Structure 1
Amino acid sequence: MGKTWRVAAAGLALALFAAGCSETEEKAEPQAGASVSPAGSVQPEGKGTAGGAGFKKFDPPVTFTQNKINTEGTVYQPGDSLENNGYTRWLQNDLGIIVKPKWITPNLETDVQKLNIGAASGGLPDVIGAEAPVLGNLAQQGVLTPLNDLIEKHGSPLLKHVIELAQKDAKGKLFSPFTIDGKIYAFPKMIDRMAYWSTNWIRKDLLEELGKPVPATLAEMEEVLAAYKGKYPNGTGMVLDKDMLGVDLLTQAFDAQPKKWRLDGDGKVIYGSIQPQMKEALVKLHDWYAKGYINREFIAKNNDNTISDLTSGNTLTWTNGQWWNVYFPFPDMWKNVPKANMAALPTLKGDNGKRSVIIDTVSNYGVAINKSYKQPEVIIALYNMQLDSLYRSNEVIRKELAGKYEFKYPVTALQTPLNPTEKNASLFKYSYGQPGWGWFNDFPDNDANAWGFQGRLGSEAVNRLERIAAALQKGSKDGLNASEVNDYDGLSAEPQRPNAFQSVLSTWLEREKGSYVSANVYPGVPTPAMTQKKAYLDKLEAETFARIIMGQEPAAAFDKFVDSWKKGGGDDITKEINAWYQANK
């Protein structure tokens, strides 16, 4: 198998262990599966049967420790806890795997502190969940187990197929945050494709009032902003905050990509914030600011402040939003302005008819295996079985793997209710086939606290939303499963919500087909120069851009910024990232 597959495979497996599931690029050849011998070691199984009927339980049971975060307000079924619930019981009863917390913390910050202490004292857990900077440091210290060969040897055909699908969803970048010198050191937490997209929203009711269509180009957006400012001089046309989130409404029309790493025409990795088109975009942002289209006090506003402006009905747009804005904060706006009709803006085209979007397709959080843990194949076995349970009722995947893989668990219909009460909890103890969030109905708080991988293939989430959208259009729940009916009811709870949801879904699907969309080339482990210089360079960038937008400095300040960025460590970072790219592309 090629290097690309091996790298992707390793990364995917981890992704699911931490949160839900992962993906890879090239198709893997059908391989021998894996079963667990009574001695507890993973042994080759017959061709195409890994995870199938021959997949045995670990006997005697095996144990690993893991760091866990248990946030305030987490809900469990009566009598259950983070350490003892439907998921952990399944691990022990069906797989012979016992998971023990090395420690339990209330938040990520405390967890990182304990990880740092554990690294210094040799007291790390067997399985380590953390963000890329922490895992990157551990990998460079030689503390973590590379996963490439481990997944290739012990991964089931199902696992490798899911890797392929996940890598496709992630535009080939699934494992980048945890790859060093071609070796994967963590399973990235999977994120749904719908979470890739930041969404710029606009008040369609105001557009109708102004006699304007939803703008598709930068020029049309300017016309709308001018018309809105003329009628509502105290309103905000384009929302920014002190972090300048939302500038992509304009920058994407200039092919300017602040804070993103991209390829130039020669195949070299370059930083978007220092390119000439970023200067052009800043000039236009200043022009809009001077004309009053952008909130004048943006430099002093955080996200909460801009939410207040939105909910009061005093804004035309809501920038850097997400699809779930239909649940928050739009309902608070609809209480004050019931007529507000929110529509997702398309990616605006510039004067040359072009546009560009660069997205982060993977999570910065992953799960790694401590090099001192002597049975790392246990983690892969867990993942094999977990995927078998998770995808057993997926007709598409079953068809794609026909003749190559035999599922251990039978196809089952989704059990209801989704959140069983105490009196029927035993009846719905296990619901392995549950679509959407989680594997078990006895996780009212979804699968966020499962000891294994969380999340699903991003394509599944999008397909699921498409089914719900189609049902909303028909006004009928027929054909939806219980989980989808639950979301259908939520989206129907307010009359303004279905249209906003349909609008944002249509925008995603249009982007999915767009050749103007690419993945951030380097969403990776912080390089040595990044560790030393990035905080300073980010501060320099934010302050310079804000001053240019507000007119406190001329556009020529951008050129000085580029020079300072390069000399202040940017050139060193760029050199390191290009070396990484050449080693891992």
Structure 2
Amino acid sequence: MIGILILAVLAGGCRGGSDSGDSRDSGHRPAGGMMDEGTAGQLPKDGKYDPVITLTYLRPWGPDVKFQEGEDQDNNGHTRWAKDKLGIQLKNLWISPSTNNAFETKLRLSLASDAEMPDIISYRGDFNLVRELIESGKFLDAGELFDQYASDTWKDAVEEDPTVWYPYMQDGKRIGIPILDYAYNSDPVMWIREDWMMKFGFQAPKTLSDLEIIMEAFTNQDPDGNGEKDTYGLTFGFKNWVNTWMSDAGWVFGAYGTMPNQWNLTEEGKLEYGSISPGAKQALEKLQSWMGKGYLAEMAGWYDEAKAVEEFTAGRAGIVVGPHWMPAWPLADVKQKVKGARIRAYPIPSGEDGRAGRHGTSIANGVILINKDMEHPEAFFTYQNYLFDHFANPEVGSEFENGLAGENEEAIADEGDQLTNNAVHTEGYDSEKYTVTFDGARIPSLNMATLLKLAYGGKAVTPFEKKVKSGASREMLEAAEIVMVQRNIAMNQMFTGPPTETMNMNNDILSRMEKDTFSQIIYGKISIDYFDTFVEKWKAAGGDQITREVNEWYRTVNEGQ
């Protein structure tokens, strides 16, 4: 569905917001045009609350969010804009960093002590915490409010994949509103040291067998030319999991028709847990072989995603698999650290029978929860509607043409085009990151459609297109094209509902069992044949019951389609 939408947007030239009719004006009136009696007296026709309404919220603040001198989370260009434009004072109930689970710990303590909750919680992270919040009973049916108050632009964005509601539902109610991200944002491609490829005269690897020839050379034939055996073929880290957002190995499983640690749709129309599929056994055997031959780092089992990528950026590994945007970060480091290093994106290779697979990306990246005691919940929609209608795809000459901070953003010229990119051109001070929902507002299909347009030689016309162009290298555009050419091999997580009853009881032990078995097989500490024993134990320890519950959920949600 998303691929079709992206191509449709591309065909339409990635139009700006001027074509969306009356919905474009929703930010200038009460959210959705509806008010209760108490609110009506406070809203003049220009959509600005008078007197000012305070909207309290909580969200984790990451180390990537920087503030200029004298500013902070409650006092910055964005909070001043919200107050001046909408009459909404944004205020954190309390502030906690995202590192070391500090935010999660404080929020759980607040829940346990029945402490005051803010009007809005905006969160991306531990899904168990999300379920704790939903099940606390402190938040209202946000779906009803969304239907009533959300603008057409926002509703259309969610409609690109209506299943994004599923994780945040309880008893048929949509308790949480999904925070939207760009489509295909973490779908992986294969990044290879192009200078090493040229040294050996290699062509693009089409199969795993082709790839093994390349990894053999990268491991044993001194690709960096320093006379030492200090390189290897592929870097990936499975400290967290084998199927991850960066330094991924899920594609190895995809070559055998499955995707681990997620629920996949079988040819029979049933959901199957990918880690117990026969294809998973074949993939583990392949990874065991690669580890034994030295194609993988010996420390891979201790590496998280970022640490694994450091092996590539340090010049020790020749291949890493991850999203199309990696040339911006972190792969840019390899060119700085290694003289003459070049990188290039390649398609995901197939197994010997021609199958290929990669994990797919949800367009949801977080959730919004609305306090059941919030006096004027429509105020949040006034705020978020305005961002969707005017910032997500701004018009030429609009207040957001140069970014969320508007006229305060610095713009630069490049090849005759006016290009803007908040983080790049304002020394890391990115106003989008100050918003309640982390990124302002995102229309899922728009980003990839724009990248494709640019990749095919199209001219950046709209402010959004110019912004994307300013941050998109040729390597990134080529990678985006590969993502879309291979869009049919994406394997999405098919179970997106809340944890089932047996999951809540047994998931921890099943997860530990799975991680331990996979690690020992990859390192060759146990025979690949133990995989069959693992599957039997997994099923007996609750896996069979979970499979029944997951398929019952799948049947239920599809009855209404």
TM over 0.5: same fold?
A: yes
SS at 1:323 equivalent: coil
Residue 332 (structure 2) pairs with residue 359 (structure 1)? no
Report percent identity of matched pairs: 25
Contact 1:139 1:185 in 2 (8 A): yes
Residue 233 (structure 2) pairs with residue 240 (structure 1)? no
Name 1:399's counterpart in structure 2.
none
Aligned amino acid, residue 286 of structure 1: Q
Residue 387 (structure 2) pairs with residue 386 (structure 1)? yes
Name 1:160's counterpart in structure 2.
155
Moved more, 462-471 or 183-192: 462-471
Decide whether aligned partners of structure 1 residues 308 and 368 sit closer, same or farther in structure 2, where only a CA change above 3 A counts: closer
* CA distance in structure 2 between the aligned counterparts of 1:427 and 1:298, rounded to whole angstroms: 42
Q: Structure 1 residue 54: deviation in Å?
A: 5.7
Contact 1:38 1:60 in 2 (8 A): no
Contact 2:324 2:483 in 1 (8 A): no
Residues 204-255 of structure 1: CA deviation (Å, up to 9, x unaligned): 2222322321112222222323444452465311223243453224222111
Contact 2:237 2:305 in 1 (8 A): yes
Q: Alignment partner for residue 481 of structure 2, among 491, 506, 511? A: 506
Name 2:8's counterpart in structure 1.
none
Name 1:461's counterpart in structure 2.
447
* CA distance in structure 1 between the aligned counterparts of 2:386 and 2:40, rounded to whole angstroms: 12
Alignment of 1:104-123 (within 5 A): 104-107=95-98, 109-120=101-112, 121-123=114-116
Aligned pairs, number: 506
Q: Alignment partner for residue 449 of structure 1, among 410, 420, 434? A: 434
Name 1:582's counterpart in structure 2.
555
SS at 1:448 equivalent: helix
Moved more, 270-279 or 67-76: 67-76
* CA distance in structure 1 between the aligned counterparts of 2:431 and 2:47, rounded to whole angstroms: 28
Name 1:129's counterpart in structure 2.
122
Name 1:58's counterpart in structure 2.
49
Aligned amino acid, residue 401 of structure 2: L
Decide whether aligned partners of structure 1 residues 89 and 545 sit closer, same or farther in structure 2, where only a CA change above 3 A counts: same
Name 2:535's counterpart in structure 1.
562
Alignment of 1:346-495 (within 5 A): 346-391=347-392, 393-394=394-395, 411=398, 414-415=401-402, 425=408, 444-452=429-437, 454=439, 455-466=441-452, 469=455, 479=460
Name 2:20's counterpart in structure 1.
none
Residues 173-214 of structure 1: CA deviation (Å, up to 9, x unaligned): 322331234322212222222522133211222223223211
Decide whether aligned partners of structure 1 residues 325 and 413 sit closer, same or farther in structure 2, where only a CA change above 3 A counts: closer
* CA distance in structure 1 between the aligned counterparts of 2:507 and 2:237, rounded to whole angstroms: 21
Alpha-carbon RMSD: 3.8
* CA distance in structure 1 between the aligned counterparts of 2:182 and 2:200, rounded to whole angstroms: 36
* CA distance in structure 2 between the aligned counterparts of 1:246 and 1:470, rounded to whole angstroms: 28
* CA distance in structure 2 between the aligned counterparts of 1:383 and 1:329, rounded to whole angstroms: 31
SS at 1:451 equivalent: coil
* CA distance in structure 1 between the aligned counterparts of 2:357 and 2:251, rounded to whole angstroms: 11
Name 1:281's counterpart in structure 2.
283
Contact 1:204 1:214 in 2 (8 A): no
Q: Structure 1 residue 435: deviation in Å?
A: 7.9
Residue 254 (structure 2) pairs with residue 252 (structure 1)? yes
Aligned amino acid, residue 277 of structure 1: G
* CA distance in structure 2 between the aligned counterparts of 1:487 and 1:419, rounded to whole angstroms: 17
Name 1:146's counterpart in structure 2.
141
Q: Structure 1 residue 561: deviation in Å?
A: 0.8
* CA distance in structure 2 between the aligned counterparts of 1:350 and 1:391, rounded to whole angstroms: 40
Q: Structure 1 residue 502: deviation in Å?
A: 3.6
Aligned amino acid, residue 414 of structure 1: E
Residue 536 (structure 2) pairs with residue 544 (structure 1)? no
Decide whether aligned partners of structure 1 residues 415 and 154 sit closer, same or farther in structure 2, where only a CA change above 3 A counts: closer
Name 1:83's counterpart in structure 2.
74
SS at 1:63 equivalent: strand
Q: Structure 1 residue 565: deviation in Å?
A: 1.4
Q: Structure 1 residue 272: deviation in Å?
A: 0.4
Contact 1:181 1:580 in 2 (8 A): no
Residue 273 (structure 2) pairs with residue 271 (structure 1)? yes
* CA distance in structure 2 between the aligned counterparts of 1:452 and 1:313, rounded to whole angstroms: 37
Name 2:14's counterpart in structure 1.
none
* CA distance in structure 2 between the aligned counterparts of 1:427 and 1:469, rounded to whole angstroms: 26
* CA distance in structure 2 between the aligned counterparts of 1:348 and 1:298, rounded to whole angstroms: 21
Q: Structure 1 residue 481: deviation in Å?
A: 6.6
Q: Alignment partner for residue 573 of structure 1, among 524, 546, 553? A: 546
Decide whether aligned partners of structure 1 residues 334 and 95 sit closer, same or farther in structure 2, where only a CA change above 3 A counts: closer
Alignment of 1:87-102 (within 5 A): 87-102=78-93
Residues 293-321 of structure 1: CA deviation (Å, up to 9, x unaligned): 233443344556544532343322123x3
Aligned amino acid, residue 133 of structure 1: N
Contact 1:36 1:56 in 2 (8 A): no
Q: Structure 1 residue 520: deviation in Å?
A: 1.0
* CA distance in structure 1 between the aligned counterparts of 2:335 and 2:67, rounded to whole angstroms: 33
Aligned amino acid, residue 482 of structure 2: T
SS at 2:339 equivalent: coil
Name 1:189's counterpart in structure 2.
179
Q: Structure 1 residue 437: deviation in Å?
A: 6.4
Q: Structure 1 residue 557: deviation in Å?
A: 0.6
Name 1:47's counterpart in structure 2.
none
Aligned amino acid, residue 537 of structure 1: L
Alignment of 1:152-231 (within 5 A): 152-164=147-159, 167-168=160-161, 172-231=162-221
Superposition TM-score, scaled by structure 2 size: 0.78
Alignment of 1:38-53 (within 5 A): 40-41=38-39
Decide whether aligned partners of structure 1 residues 479 and 211 sit closer, same or farther in structure 2, where only a CA change above 3 A counts: closer
* CA distance in structure 2 between the aligned counterparts of 1:370 and 1:229, rounded to whole angstroms: 56
Alignment of 1:338-353 (within 5 A): 338-353=339-354
Moved more, 185-194 or 224-233: 224-233
Decide whether aligned partners of structure 1 residues 457 and 107 sit closer, same or farther in structure 2, where only a CA change above 3 A counts: same
Q: Structure 1 residue 35: deviation in Å?
A: 2.6
* CA distance in structure 1 between the aligned counterparts of 2:375 and 2:548, rounded to whole angstroms: 37
Alignment of 1:294-305 (within 5 A): 294-303=296-305
Contact 1:260 1:358 in 2 (8 A): no
Q: Structure 1 residue 544: deviation in Å?
A: 0.9
Moved more, 531-540 or 55-64: 55-64
Decide whether aligned partners of structure 1 residues 419 and 257 sit closer, same or farther in structure 2, where only a CA change above 3 A counts: same
Structure 2 alignment gaps of length 5 or more: 1-22, 223-228, 412-418
Decide whether aligned partners of structure 1 residues 206 and 158 sit closer, same or farther in structure 2, where only a CA change above 3 A counts: closer
SS at 1:525 equivalent: coil
Decide whether aligned partners of structure 1 residues 479 and 373 sit closer, same or farther in structure 2, where only a CA change above 3 A counts: closer
* CA distance in structure 2 between the aligned counterparts of 1:41 and 1:372, rounded to whole angstroms: 15
Contact 1:186 1:367 in 2 (8 A): yes
Contact 1:33 1:157 in 2 (8 A): no
Moved more, 177-186 or 63-72: 63-72
